[in-house]
Amino acid sequence: MRKFILVLAGIFMGNAAMAQGFSEDFGSLRNDLWHVAEYDFDHPMFDTDWKTDHATVADGLTLRLAPQAGKANGFTGGSIRRTLPTQYGRYSAIIHPAAGEGLVTGFFTYTGPAYGTRHDEIDIEFLGKDTTRLHAAWFVDGELNSRFIDLGYDAADAPRLYAFDWLPDRIRWYADGKMILEITEADGPLPHVPGMLFANLWAADHSVAIWSGKTRPDISATARLNCASFAPWTGSGFDAPRQSCDGASGTERLASASR
């Protein structure tokens, strides 16, 4: 199975630059590096279609959610994804999530059948019904595992730095510079297939309200990302890109976003 996964990864990457790190401050969005979603979304957990004008950049990325009428889904939201796949490394972002029952702010890697692979995924999610907790999740071949972690503060009050390390034998999640969860191969299978990096804001379907809370039909909301970066794993450490979110310039961005 491990050999099969590595073959899949090689096909998916094609010799792509898995080791290329990046740091994005969202001053603009390059079409060759980021894709902004625009389509009606059919997924049982989502009550949200995607609109390009709901993901806008101006000194940071703003993701917007708004109600809509006359469609199968009751809301429109914003979603962006990196166009190049990445794998092991540190994924960081300065995030100010949305608050409100039924709302979900996500920062995650994903691959699945749409990309010709199995479903592997690693998530940082904030459920708007209780933004004092972070939802850390990971999928391996479509099988979900997850944990809720108490943050000790309300994430919706201010932008903060969040991150996860995706390594061959473990995943670590961080909030405000502190590790809040680590899972290893001893805990069960881990994601291994390279994926695309996403950020989005969406309203959950009422069928999963026990998890997300029930969205008010008239609710509007925004979430913000002031930085997103990826530092590849070299086998002994992280090859951090210049101006990464958790570097010196990231500290400056966080201070600016908090003003």
- What residue type is assigned to position 30 of the chain? R
Taking 60 as the threshold, does the pLDDT of residue 60 lie above it? Answer: yes
Burial 148-181 (b: 16+ CB within 10 A, else e): eeebeeebbeebbbbbbbbbeeebbbbbeeeebe
| pLDDT at residue 92 in the model | 97
d(CA 95, CA 162) in angstroms, rounded, equals 7
Residue 243: which pLDDT band, with cuts at 50, 70 and 90? confident
Q: Which residues touch 249 (CB under 8 Å, ≥6 apart)?
A: 23, 242, 243
Structural domains in the chain, CATH included, are: 2-13+21-257 (2.60.120.200)
| pLDDT at residue 8 in the model | 43
Report yes or no: 94 and 250 within 8 Å, Cβ to Cβ.
yes
Taking 60 as the threshold, does the pLDDT of residue 16 lie above it? Answer: no
d(CA 198, CA 185) in angstroms, rounded, equals 25
Report CA 132 to chain centroid distance, whole Å: 18
Residue 244: which pLDDT band, with cuts at 50, 70 and 90? confident
Q: Write the pLDDT tens digit of every residue in 67-82.
A: 999 999 999 999 999 9
Taking 70 as the threshold, does the pLDDT of residue 89 lie above it? Answer: yes
Taking 70 as the threshold, does the pLDDT of residue 12 lie above it? Answer: no
Rounded to an integer, the average pLDDT of 169-173 is: 98
Of 147, 140, 21, nearest to 88 by C-alpha is: 21
| pLDDT at residue 249 in the model | 64
Rounded to an integer, the average pLDDT of 24-32 is: 93
Q: Which of 24, 38, 101, 125 is catalytic?
A: 125
Residue 242: which pLDDT band, with cuts at 50, 70 and 90? confident
Active site residue 38: no
Q: Write the pLDDT tens digit of every residue in 201-223.
A: 999 999 999 999 999 999 999 99
d(CA 155, CA 143) in angstroms, rounded, equals 28
Taking 70 as the threshold, does the pLDDT of residue 17 lie above it? Answer: no
